[in-house]
Amino acid sequence: MRNLWTLAVAAILVLTTGCIVELSVVDGPDSATPEDAAGGADAAPQIDAAPELCGNGVIDDDETCDGTDLDQNDCTTIGLGFLSGRVVCNTACDGWDTTDCVGGPELNWITIDGGTFDMGSTEGTSYEVPVHAVSIRTFQLTKTEVTVIQYQACMDDGVCTDPDLAAVCHWNDAGYDDHPVDCVNWSQARAFCQWSLGRLASEAEWEFAARSRGLNIKYPWGDEPATCDFAVMLDGAYGCGLGHTDVVCSRVAGNTNQGLCDMTGNVVEWVEDNWHGDYQGAPTDEIAWISWPASTTRVTRSSAFDWSQDLSHVTFRSPGEEAFIAPGVGFRCARNVD
């Protein structure tokens, strides 16, 4: 007979740990027979540890790819507008290594480590109260507002639609490739972010990032008043004298501590949340605050090239209908890191 004492130990380990384990037979109260030692007919099968799913070469539940099993994808099919190249499955089996892909929007993602901060302000508008503690998980945000050339890649891929072509917008004008795309509505912004394998930021994530990870400061760079040294804004003239937007990251003195550009100025930015007139009942985490029943009024954050210092503080917020389009209205994208 097989050593019953050994099997009992194995059963206890499985029940108490939830893990399948491999045990060697040792002497116990019921010693092994010669047939057992020789691997005879009565010998119990060896129990192997459960295999890890990621890395087994087969796409299992919740996996995007696994090893060389790419689900017939290449650089041109993963939704980033790449023109050619070889895509590789990442080590977590939940996304792509696009190092060898050619083309695409080339978004620069900045990691914002999580934390807890006080969202809102008692020194701004009635929209910014009550001040409330919010806990944010680590996430990523694009370093810049999405540019004209990046948005064009999404259009070339057949996903995004034309921005508004009013005379005051610069979509078709030469020399604006590295300016933030504007005259896009909330749905267009959301479509781009999804195409880039990201999403729109929640309002809480946006403010946490704009405050250099939740610092008690008035502007992304600190408390020094907003001027054209820090932001593309109305400071004597629209766009610091340009009359319109400037190239992204043109005011590096206004960057956050993490290196995010234009978190004040250039264009206001769509976020995911529905509009609420104040923070009564707001979430205490990073999840977007969505109305029920559904609302078509969303939130914009930041300020634009034609907004003054009074509207440039990081806690300022304003409403906008999903279909609203105007010069100075753009966006940036966020994505999860886990």
Judged against a pLDDT cut of 70, whether residue 143 lies above it is answered with: yes
- Strand pairing of 132-136 and 115-119? antiparallel
- Output the pTM of the full model: 0.72
Question: How far apart are the C-alpha atoms of 34 and 3, rounded to whole Å?
Answer: 12
Average pLDDT in the 20-42 region?
Answer: 40
Pairing outcome for strands 101-103 and 109-112: unpaired
Q: Are 108 and 100 in contact (CB under 8 A)?
A: no
The pLDDT tens digits of the residues spanning 298-330 come to 999 999 999 999 999 999 999 999 999 999 999
Q: Whose CA is closest to 276, among 117, 122, 118, 126?
A: 126
Are 286 and 134 a contacting pair, CB within 8 Å? yes
Per-residue model confidence (pLDDT) at position 202: 98
pLDDT tens digits, residue range 272-287?
999 999 999 999 999 9
The highest-confidence range among 23-32, 63-72, 77-86, 214-223, by mean pLDDT, is 214-223
CB–CB of 136/286 below 8 Å? yes
The residues, any chain, with a CB within 8 Å of residue 72's CB and separated by 6 or more, are: none
pLDDT of residue 27 exceeding 60: no
Give residue-wise pLDDT tens across range 168-227. 788 888 899 999 999 999 999 999 999 999 999 999 999 999 999 999 999 999 999 999
Structural contact between residues 331 and 193, judged by C-beta atoms closer than 8 angstroms: yes
Among 48-57, 122-131, 158-167, the minimum mean pLDDT is found in 48-57
Phi and psi at 192, nearest 5°, equal: -60, -50
Please indicate whether residue 241 or residue 29 has the higher confidence score (pLDDT): 241
First to last CA, the chain: 49
All domains of the chain, ordered by start, with CATH?
1-50 (no CATH), 61-102 (no CATH), 109-336 (3.90.1580.10)
Provide CB contacts within 8 A for 279, sequence distance 6+.
119, 120, 128, 129, 130, 131, 132
Total residue count of the chain as it appears in this document: 338
